[in-house]
Amino acid sequence: MQTSKSSITALTLGALGVVYGDIGTSVLYAMKQVFDTGLVPLTQDNILGILSIFFWTLTVVVSVKYVMLVLRADNHGEGGLVAMLALALAAVKDKPRLRHTILLVGICGAGLFYGDGVITPAVSILGALEGLLVISPHFKSWIIPITLLILIALFKVQKRGTANIGKFFGPITLVWFVAIAALGVLQIANNPQVLWAISPHYAIQFMFANIGITFVILGAVVLCVTGAEALYADMGHFGKRPIRLAWFWVVMPALILNYFGQGALLISHPEAVKNPFYLMAPQWALIPLLVVATLAAIIASQALITGAFSVTKQVIQMGFLPRMRIEHTSIKETGQIYMPAVNWGLFVMIVITVIMFKNSDALGAAYGIAVCINMLITTSLTFFVIRYSWKYPLILCIAATGWFFVVDIVFLASNLLKIEDGGWFPLLIGAVIFTFMVTWHRGTELVAEAQKADSFSLRDFLQAVFVSPPTRVEGTAVFLTTDADITPNALLHNLKHNKVLHAHNLFVTVRSHEVPWIGLEKRLEVHSLGHHCWQVTINFGFKNDPDVPGSLKTLYGLGFDIDPMTTSYFLSRNKVVSTPGSGMAPWREKLFAQMHHNASDAADFLYLPSNAVVELGSKVEI
C-alpha cells in the first residue's frame, strides 16, 4: 500500500509540472486583462462580481467539464484531441457522411492547437518578465531581448530531451503554486470580504447589471482556463487520479486564492491594476517571485513544445501530414521525442509573435480564440462519444454536453470581438496548418488512386512470374507497398533490371489505426502467396513507433527469421507531378507535390537499416 501511495504522489507531482504549467501561469495576466479593457470601474461590487465569474468559470469549465466528464473519455488510457477524435470516428464508423464531417472538425482543432501553441510561450514568458517593470520602469527595454534569449536557450535544448530536466518540473511548479497561494492569502487577510465572491450571487448580479460589458470581458475571463485541454491531453502520461488530485488539492485552491488576493489588493489599491499579480508581493520578494514566475513560464512553454511533438507524430500516423524526422531522446520512454522541423518552426513563429505583439497585454487580446474553438470541438466530440459509443440516451447526452456547449459558444462569441486586435493571428496559423493537413490527406488519396489505375494485381502477377520463374537468390526481400493488393513498382523494377527474385519475399503494408496503441500480439497479419512469398500487414496505433524491422522480428513459423545481414528493403520513391484534371485545385496539387518532395525519408521514418535499403523511383501524375 505504501508503494502505491508513493507512486500516486510521484505521478501527482509530475502532473503539476507537465499538465498545469499553462493554466498555472494565467494568474500573471488574466485579471489584468479584464480590467485593462477599461469597461469595468474598480468598485468593490464590480471586483466581487469579476472574482465570482472567475471562480465559477474555473469550476464549470475545468472541474466539471474536463476533470469530471472529459477525463472519462479515454482512448485505451490515452487522452487529447486526437485521441478524442479517434473515439468519435470509431463511434460513427457506420455513418460515413457524419464521420467525414467529424474528421474535418477534429483536424481543424489539431490545426488550431498550433495557433494556440505559438501564443502560449510568448504570453507566459513576457507576462513573467514584465515583473521587471514593477522593480523599475527602466527595465522595459530589456524585456523583449531577455524573452528572445530564453526562447533560444529553450528551443536549443529540446534535442537533448526532457528526461533529465523533467524531474525538476514538478517541484518547481509546486513551489510556484505555493507562492501564488501565499501571496493571495496575505492580501485576503487584509480584505477577507472578497471570499463572499464564492457565491454565484455576485457573478449573476454583475452579469445582469452589465450584460454588454460582461459579454465583452468574457474574452479576457477565458484566459483563466487556458491550458485546461492539457488535463485531457496528458492523461496517458499520468492517469486520471493524479491529474484530479493535483487539480483539487493544489492547483485550483492556489489559483482561487491568488485571483481573490488580486481582487483584495484592487479593492484597497485600485492603482495596482497596472500589474495586480506582482504588486501583491512585498518589495523584498519581487526578485525571487520574478525568478520563480519565469521558471514556471518556461515549464509551461516546455509542456507545450513537447505536446506539439506528440500531436504532430499522431497526426502523421493518421495520414494528415507528411513524414518528418523523429528522434527519440530517451531509451526508457518512447513518448519522449524530438522533431527538428516542428521545433524550429515553432521557434520562428514564437519569435515573430513576441516581436509583433511586444507585451502580454497585446498578446492577451490575441489569446483565447483558438482555445475557445478547441474547447467547443472537444465538447462536440464528447457528445458523439457518449451518444454513439457509450450508447447513453439522447436526452442524457444533450444534458451532459449541452450546458458546456452553450458556455463554450458564449466564450467563443466574446473572443470573436478580439479578431481585429490580434485574434486573427492564431486563426491564420490554424488555417494554414489545416490547409496543409487536408491537402496532404487528399493528395495521398489521389496518388493511391493513380497507382492503382496503372497497377497489376499482386496475386495475378506472381502467378504469371512463376510460370517461368526467375533466378532465386539467397536472402529475404521486403517490398513496402501502400496497397496490399497491387504489385509494388519496386518489384517490377527489380525483376526488369536485376532479373532475380529473393528466396523469401515479403510484401509489407503499413496500416495506421484510430487507436493509440496496438500490441505485438495484434501487430501482424500474414497471408501466404505461395512460392515463399507472403503478404504482411503491420498494424500501428497513432502513438506506436512505426518500427517495421522490429515488428517483423515477431514472424515465426514461416521457415525463416528476419536476419539483418541477409534482408533487403525495397522502396518505391515516387515523384509527384501536378497535371490538369479533376483532382485538386492546381495550387493545392503543387503544394502537395512540394510537401511530398520535402517529406523525410521513408526508410528513416519506418526505422529501416540504411545499409539494407534499395530505392527505385517512379513518376506519379495527379
- Segment 91-120 shows an average pLDDT of 90
Task: pLDDT band for 334, please (50, 70, 90 cuts).
Answer: low
Q: Indicate the Cα dihedral angle 586, 587, 590, 594, nearest 10°.
A: -170
Return the CA Rg of the chain.
Answer: 27
**Quick check: helix, strand or coil at residue 282?**
coil
Residue type, 373: I
Q: What percent of the chain has pLDDT over 70?
A: 96
- Do 262 and 334 share a structural domain? yes
Per-residue model confidence (pLDDT) at position 397:
92
Residue 568: strand pairing partners = 477
Report which of 254, 248, 127 is spatially closest to residue 178, judged by C-alpha positions. Answer: 254
Is residue 449 in a domain?
Answer: no
Q: Considering the domain boundaries, does residue 16 fall inside one?
A: yes
- Domain check: are 167 and 310 in the same one? yes
Which H or E run contains 508? Answer: strand 500-513
**Tens digit of pLDDT for each residue in 154-189?**
999 888 766 555 667 889 999 999 999 999 999 999
Give the 3-state DSSP-derived string for 175-188, with helices as H, strands as E and coil as C. HHHHHHHHHHHHHH
- For the record, the C-alpha cell of 594 comes out as 512540394
What is the model's pTM? 0.85
d(CA 148, CA 125): 10
Helix-helix angle 369-384:424-453, to 10 degrees: 50
Domain-located, residue 448: no
In a shared domain, residues 603 and 549:
yes
Residues 518, 543 contacting (CB under 8 angstroms): no
Element (H, E) at 573: strand 567-577
Cell of 348: 520562428
Residue 508 lies inside a defined structural domain of this protein:
yes
Nearest in space to 126 (alpha carbons), one of 111, 140, 106, 108? 140
Query: Which range is most confident: 58-62, 336-340, 484-488?
Result: 58-62
Cα separation of 10 and 4, whole Å? Answer: 10
Q: d(Cα 450, Cα 428) in Å, to the nearest integer?
A: 32
Same domain, 465 and 433: no
103 and 243 belong to one structural domain: yes
Q: 392, 407, 442: which is the final residue of a domain?
A: 442
Mention every residue, 6+ apart, whose C-beta is less than 8 A from residue 496: none
Q: Are residues 427 and 463 in the same domain?
A: no
What are 565's three cell numbers?
545481414
Instruction: Using the 3D structure, point to which of 442, 467, 486 is the last residue of a domain.
Output: 442
pLDDT for 304: 84
Amino acid code (one letter) for 271? E
Split at pLDDT 50, 70, 90, the class of 330 is low
Integer Cα distance of 108 and 426 in angstroms = 12
Has residue 450 been placed in a domain?
A: no
Query: And the C-alpha cell for 324?
Result: 518528418
Are 432 and 464 part of one and the same domain? no
Which range scores top for mean pLDDT: 37-41, 201-205, 456-460? 201-205
Residue 125, classified by CB atoms within 10 Å of its CB into exposed (0-12), middle (13-18) or buried (19+), is buried
Is the per-residue pLDDT at 3 higher than 70? Answer: no
How far apart are the C-alpha atoms of 439 and 618, rounded to whole Å? 21
pLDDT attached to residue 163: 56
- Which of 396, 418, 442 finishes a domain? 442
pLDDT in tens, 511-570: 988 788 888 888 888 988 888 899 999 999 888 888 999 888 888 666 666 788 888 999
Other CB atoms within a 10 A radius of the CB of residue 212 amount to: 8
Residue 28 maps to a domain: yes
Look up the domain containing 520 and give its range: 456-621
Among the listed ranges 157-166, 246-255, 339-348, which one has the minimum average pLDDT value?
157-166
The pLDDT of residue 230 is above 80: no
pLDDT value of position 531: 87
What single-letter amino acid sits at 484?
A: A
Rounded Cα–Cα distance for residues 490 and 570 (Å): 6
Grid cell listed for 503:
528466396
Domain of 237, CATH number, reads 1.20.1740.10
- Please state the domain count of the chain: 2
Q: Pick 14 or 56 by higher pLDDT.
A: 56
- Condensed to tens digits (0 to 9), the pLDDT of residues 192-219 reads 999 999 999 999 999 999 999 999 999 9
Averaged confidence pLDDT in the chain: 88
- Which residues lie closer than 8 Å to 18 by C-beta, 6 or more apart? 166, 169, 170, 230, 234, 237, 238, 303, 306
The reply to whether 538 falls in a domain is: yes
Q: Is 84:378 a contact under the CB 8 Å cutoff?
A: yes
Residues 189 and 327 in one domain: yes
Structure-block grid coordinates of residue 459: 496475386
Whether residue 65 is found in the same domain as residue 41: yes
pLDDT of 318 above 80: yes
Q: Which of 226, 238, 227, 256 is nearest to 51 (CA)?
A: 256
* Phi, psi torsion values for 615, nearest 5 degrees: -110, 135
With a cut of 50, say whether residue 132 has pLDDT above it. yes
CA distance 285 to 327: 41
pLDDT greater than 50 at residue 1:
no
User: 431 and 504 share a domain?
Assistant: no
Report yes or no: 540 and 512 within 8 Å, Cβ to Cβ. yes
Close Cβ partners of 67 (under 8 Å, ≥ 6 residues apart): 231, 243, 244, 247, 248
Residue 451 lies in a domain: no
Q: Which range (15-19, 174-178, 271-275, 465-469) has the least confidence?
A: 15-19
User: Which range, of 30-44, 451-465, 573-587, averages the lowest pLDDT?
Assistant: 573-587
Q: State what percent of residues in the chain have pLDDT above 90.
A: 46
CB 312 within 8 A of CB 121: no
- Mean pLDDT across 580-596: 85
Task: State the maximum Cα–Cα separation within the chain, in Å, rounded to a whole number.
Answer: 95
Same domain, 505 and 430: no
Best-predicted range by mean pLDDT (165-169, 376-380, 561-565, 611-615):
376-380
What confidence score (pLDDT) does residue 311 get? 86
Q: Are residues 470 and 323 in the same domain?
A: no
Q: Once rounded to an integer, what is the mean pLDDT over residues 487-497? A: 85
Q: Which three cell numbers stand for residue 466?
A: 512463376
Query: What pLDDT score was predicted for residue 2?
Result: 43
- Name which of 354, 293, 447, 437 is nearest 118 in CA terms: 354
